[in-house]
Structure 1
Amino acid sequence: MTKRITISDVAIHAGVSKSTVSQYLNGRYDYMGQKTKEKIQSAIKELKYSPNMVARSLKQKSSTTIGVIVANILHVFSTQVIRAIEDFCHEKGFHVIVCNADDNPDKEKTYIDMLRAKQVDGIIAFPTGDNVALYQGLLEEQYPLVFMDRLVDGLDIPTVLLDNDKAATLAVDLLKDYQRPAIVTPPLKENLTPRMERLIGFKNELAKHGVSLPDEYIACGEISEIQKKLTELFQLTKAPDAIFAINDRVLHEVLTFMNHQHIRIPEDVALVNVDDVSFAEFYQPALTTISQPAFEMGKKAAELLFTQIKNPQDRSTMETFRFEPMVNRRKSC
C-alpha cells in the first residue's frame, strides 16, 4: 500500500519546520520569505501532497465551508449572487455548498439540518419565512447567518436586499406616460419581500401620478399559470398598454405570450422588468430593464457572514443593507 504523504514529509523535503508548512497551508505567510514559500510549494508538488481536510477541520474547529440556500436557482439574480459568494469564499480558502429550496419550507429545513450536520461554518439563505423558530434557534447559538433578498419579521439577522421601493419608482417613471399599466407577478405572499414591496411601491407611485392599478390589472399566479393570467388580462375591455414584469422568470412568460399573440413591443404594449437578463440588449426590440447589483450584494452577504464567523459575538452587522437598482434604458418602453 502506498504510504500517505504527511505534513512532516513536506517539511523534511522542504527543509523547514512542520509549523512553517502549516502556516503556509493555512495562508498565514505574510511574513514568510519568498524562497521559503517556493521550497514548500515545490515540495508539495513533488511529493503530490494532499492535505487531510477532515483532520484540519477538526484541529481548526472549522470546515472551511459555508452553505447557501437559494429560493430558486433558475433566477438570474440567484446565480449571480452565488457566483459572487463563491468568488469571495475562494479568496478566503473556503468552499460553498449550494442548496435549492424551491421556496419550500420543508426543503429549507432539510437543507439547514444537512448543512449543520456537515458542520459548515455559516449559512447565507433566501428564507421562505416559514422556519422562524429554526432560525431563532440558530441565532441563540450565535451561529453565523445572513439573509439575502427577504426580510423575516421578528428575526434580528443581517439582511442584504434591493431597494424594491426605488425599483418600483423607476418602473413607474419609465411607464408614467401610459394610461393602463399592469403588473405581472408570481404568487404574492407576505414573506416574499421583493414581490410585495415591488407591487406596493408600484401601486403607490402610480397613485402619485393620478393613475390607478385595479385588481384586474394585477396578473398574479404560479409561473405555469402566467400564460393563462395574461390571456385574461388581454381579454379585458380595455387591455393594458404597459406591463411591469416583476422578475426575469415572469419576463420570459410575458415575451412568450406576446410573441404567440403577435403583440408588438412597444407599439402595442410597453414593457419593463426587474433583472437585466443576458439577452436584453439583443432581443428585438432591446429590453428596458431595472437591474440589481447582484455581484455587489453577494459579496456584501459573504463579508457579513465572515465577520460573524471570525467573531460570533460581533453584533455590529445585525442590520438591513439595501442596494440601489439601476435603469438600463433601451427600446421596449
Structure 2
Amino acid sequence: MRSTIKDVSERAGVSIKTVSRVLNKERYVGAATREKVEEAVRALNFRPSLAARSLAGRRSFQIGLICDNPSPAYVYAMQTGIRDRCEVDGVRMIAQPYDRNSGRLLEEVEALVATSHLDGLILTPPVSDHDEVLDFLKERGVRVVRVSPGHRPEASAAVFIDNRAAAYEVTRHLLSRGHRRVGHILGQRDFATSAQRYEGYLAALGEAGIDPDPALIEQGDYDFASGARAAEAMLSLGSPPSAIFAASDDMAAGALAAAHRRGVRVPAELAIAGFGDDPLASYVWPPLTTTRQPVRDLAWNAADLLLLPEETFEQRELPHALMVRDSTG
C-alpha cells in the first residue's frame, strides 16, 4: 500500500503538521527534527500527493516552462535541467510550447495562468524579453525567472551566460589562427542572444583592426537549413571567407554541410565554429569548435531560483567555455 503522511508522522514521532512543514521546506523546523522526517520519508518511500499538498496550502507545486527554440537539443536540455531540480522538491513541470509566429503568445500565456494555477513560470528567449508577457505576469503576481534576457534586468530573477564574451572568444580564436576574412551567421532576429553574439564578433574584429565586411554577415534562424543557406551565399563570393563563426551549432553544422557539398576542405580551406556545444557538435565531421553553453545548468538554476521560499531578483551568471576541435584546425 502507498505510504501516507500519517505513516511518516508516526515513524518520525512528530506531528503531521511538522511533516508538512518539512516537506514544504518551511523554516523554523529544527535540524534534528527535519532529519528524522526525511529519514522516515526515505524509509517509507513516501511520495506526497500534489493534490493533497495543494489543498493544504496556497501552492499548486507546479511550475511552467515556456520554451520555443529551433534546436531540439536546447529544448531537451532545458526540460531535463528543470525536471531534475523539480524532483528534489516534489514539484511538477508543465512545458508549454507555442508558435512565435502566430501572434497569440500573450493569449496563450493568459490562458495557461488562468487554468493551471502555477507557482511560477520560466521564460526562455525570445519570450524572456516579451514586454507584454512580462507586464501581464507582473500584474497578475506570477513569479518569473528568465533565461538569457536581453533587457529589463529588474523585471525578474534571471540566469544567463555572457554571450558577448563567449562570441568574442570564439572569433578571437579564429583570428589567432591567421584568419582575416571571418564570416558570421546571425541567430534569429528576435533573440537577444543573437545581438549579444554579434557584438562579441564585432568586438574581436575591431580589436584586430579589421573592418567588418557586410558581405560576410548573413542572417540565420538558429537552424541547420539557414546555416547552410548562409554559408552557400558566402562561399559563392568572389572573395569568400576563410573562416565562419555561426551563432549556433545547428547553423555551424549547416555551414559544414554546405562546404562539403562544394568540395571545400574543412579546416584546410575553411574553418568553422559554432556556439552551444550541443551533442551535434561532436557528431559531425570534423567535430566543431564551439562555445559550451551549459543549458542544463541554466535550466536547473532557473528552477532553483523559482522554487526558493521567497521571490528573488537574483541574477545568476554561469560560466561558458571555448571547446577547440578539428573544424578550426
For residues 193 and 274 of structure 2, what CA distance do their matches in structure 1 show? 13
For residues 157 and 12 of structure 1, what CA distance do their matches in structure 2 show? 38
For residues 86 and 221 of structure 1, what CA distance do their matches in structure 2 show? 30
**Structure whose alpha-carbon radius of gyration is higher:** 1
| Match of residue 78 from structure 1 | 75
Matched, 1:124 2:122: yes
| Match of residue 320 from structure 2 | 325
For residues 163 and 247 of structure 2, what CA distance do their matches in structure 1 show? 10
| Match of residue 289 from structure 2 | 288
The structural deviation recorded for 1:62 is 1.3
User: Deviations for 1:239-264, whole angstroms, at most 9, x for unmatched residues?
Assistant: 11100011122123212212222221
CA 1:57 to 1:105, structure 2 compared with 1: closer, same or farther past 3 Å? farther
CA 1:267 to 1:188, structure 2 compared with 1: closer, same or farther past 3 Å? same
For residues 147 and 12 of structure 1, what CA distance do their matches in structure 2 show? 38
The residue type paired with residue 34 of structure 2 is: D
CA 1:163 to 1:65, structure 2 compared with 1: closer, same or farther past 3 Å? same
CA 1:57 to 1:254, structure 2 compared with 1: closer, same or farther past 3 Å? same
| Match of residue 101 from structure 1 | 98
Mapped contact 1:146–1:301 kept (Cα < 8 A): yes
User: Deviations for 1:252-310, whole angstroms, at most 9, x for unmatched residues?
Assistant: 32122122222211011001111112243454323211111223322221222122xx2
Root-mean-square deviation (CA, aligned residues, Å) is: 3.4
For residues 18 and 209 of structure 2, what CA distance do their matches in structure 1 show? 70
SS in structure 1 at match of 2:138: helix
For residues 77 and 302 of structure 2, what CA distance do their matches in structure 1 show? 13
Mapped contact 1:181–1:243 kept (Cα < 8 A): yes
For residues 2 and 254 of structure 2, what CA distance do their matches in structure 1 show? 56
| Match of residue 245 from structure 2 | 244
CA 1:292 to 1:33, structure 2 compared with 1: closer, same or farther past 3 Å? closer
Please list, as runs of the form range in 1=range in 2, the aligned pairs for 1:1-16 lying within 5 A after superposition: none
For residues 38 and 314 of structure 2, what CA distance do their matches in structure 1 show? 42
Matched, 1:299 2:289: no
For residues 285 and 92 of structure 2, what CA distance do their matches in structure 1 show? 40
Mapped contact 1:248–1:275 kept (Cα < 8 A): yes
User: Deviations for 1:170-208, whole angstroms, at most 9, x for unmatched residues?
Assistant: 11221112021001123334xx21100111220122111
Mapped contact 1:72–1:103 kept (Cα < 8 A): no
For residues 17 and 34 of structure 1, what CA distance do their matches in structure 2 show? 12
SS in structure 2 at match of 1:170: helix
Matched, 1:151 2:173: no
Deviates more, 1:162-171 or 1:16-25: 16-25
Please list, as runs of the form range in 1=range in 2, the aligned pairs for 1:262-281 lying within 5 A after superposition: 262-281=263-282
TM-score normalised to structure 2 length: 0.82
Please list, as runs of the form range in 1=range in 2, the aligned pairs for 1:191-210 lying within 5 A after superposition: 192-210=191-209
| Match of residue 216 from structure 1 | 215
Please list, as runs of the form range in 1=range in 2, the aligned pairs for 1:47-66 lying within 5 A after superposition: 53-66=50-63
Mapped contact 2:227–2:250 kept (Cα < 8 A): no
For residues 39 and 288 of structure 2, what CA distance do their matches in structure 1 show? 55
The structural deviation recorded for 1:319 is 4.7
Identical positions, percent: 21
Matched, 1:68 2:65: yes
For residues 258 and 283 of structure 2, what CA distance do their matches in structure 1 show? 19
| Match of residue 172 from structure 2 | 173
SS in structure 1 at match of 2:74: helix
CA 1:33 to 1:246, structure 2 compared with 1: closer, same or farther past 3 Å? closer
User: How many residues are matched?
Assistant: 315
For residues 11 and 299 of structure 1, what CA distance do their matches in structure 2 show? 29
| Match of residue 47 from structure 1 | none
The residue type paired with residue 145 of structure 2 is: V
Mapped contact 1:76–1:275 kept (Cα < 8 A): no
Q: Which runs of 5+ in 1 are unaligned?
A: 45-49
Deviates more, 1:54-63 or 1:100-109: 100-109
TM-score normalised to structure 1 length: 0.81
Mapped contact 1:287–1:332 kept (Cα < 8 A): yes
Mapped contact 1:206–1:212 kept (Cα < 8 A): yes
User: Deviations for 1:11-46, whole angstroms, at most 9, x for unmatched residues?
Assistant: 89989898279649937772537896588x28x7xx
Mapped contact 2:227–2:246 kept (Cα < 8 A): no
SS in structure 2 at match of 1:67: strand
